[in-house]
Amino acid sequence: MTAPRGVALDVSVAAARRAARAHPRVASVVADVWQPLPLGDGSVDLLLDVFAPRHADEFRRVLAASGLLLVVTPQAEHLGELRRALGLLDIQPAKHEELRSTLAGALSEQTSESLQFAVTLEDDSVRDLVAMGPNAFHLSEAQIEDRVASVPTPVRVTAAVTLSVWSPRG
């Protein structure tokens, strides 16, 4: 049996570089999920989507017949303490229902589970979380720095996500 291999896809060059260093069997490609993915038809056994856009037809195309898609979506209370303290954007309360609507034509939901746990963050982690999310498109670097500096660290926050598992339709 061949050792499993992974391919990380991200539109961010910095994220792709970091992913390439994560493990010796992981390759990394800078790619836009809204374009055709640089992967062969039916070539993926497991596709992981964490807080990222979802292109249902492309996911279906690249998944093997027995392949699975694991999607992690934030719940409304995800990082709520941090979002309130920093005046960050809210998360849509119906995020998982939106996911179902997006994927329903190409994939079938097998299961979903809500996960909630506490996380303690330091300055760098707080800054990284703000900079890699949608707030980065609405705030300047100086605004992010000012807001992060206003929060005493370490700070304890709630991680609240839904993990769902999907398989290709027909």
The answer as to whether 146 is a domain residue is yes
The answer as to whether 140 is a domain residue is yes
Q: Name the domain count of the chain.
A: 1
Whether the per-residue pLDDT at 76 is higher than 80: the answer is yes
Reduced to 3 states (helix: H, G, I; strand: E, B; else coil), residue 100 is: helix
* pLDDT for position 77: 93
Across the chain, mean pLDDT equals: 90
The answer as to whether 103 is a domain residue is yes
pLDDT, one tens digit per residue, over 58-74 is: 999 999 999 999 999 99
The answer as to whether 88 is a domain residue is yes
The answer as to whether 133 is a domain residue is yes
Neighbouring C-beta atoms of residue 22, cutoff 10 Å: 11
Q: Give the domain extent around 133.
A: 67-168
Which domain CATH number covers 154? 3.40.50.150
The answer as to whether 27 is a domain residue is no
Q: Which stretch of DSSP H or E encloses residue 142?
A: helix 141-149
Mean pLDDT to the nearest integer, 2-27: 87
The answer as to whether 116 is a domain residue is yes
Strands (E), the chain: 6-10, 26-30, 44-50, 63-74, 107-121, 155-168
The answer as to whether 155 is a domain residue is yes
Whether the per-residue pLDDT at 14 is higher than 90: the answer is no
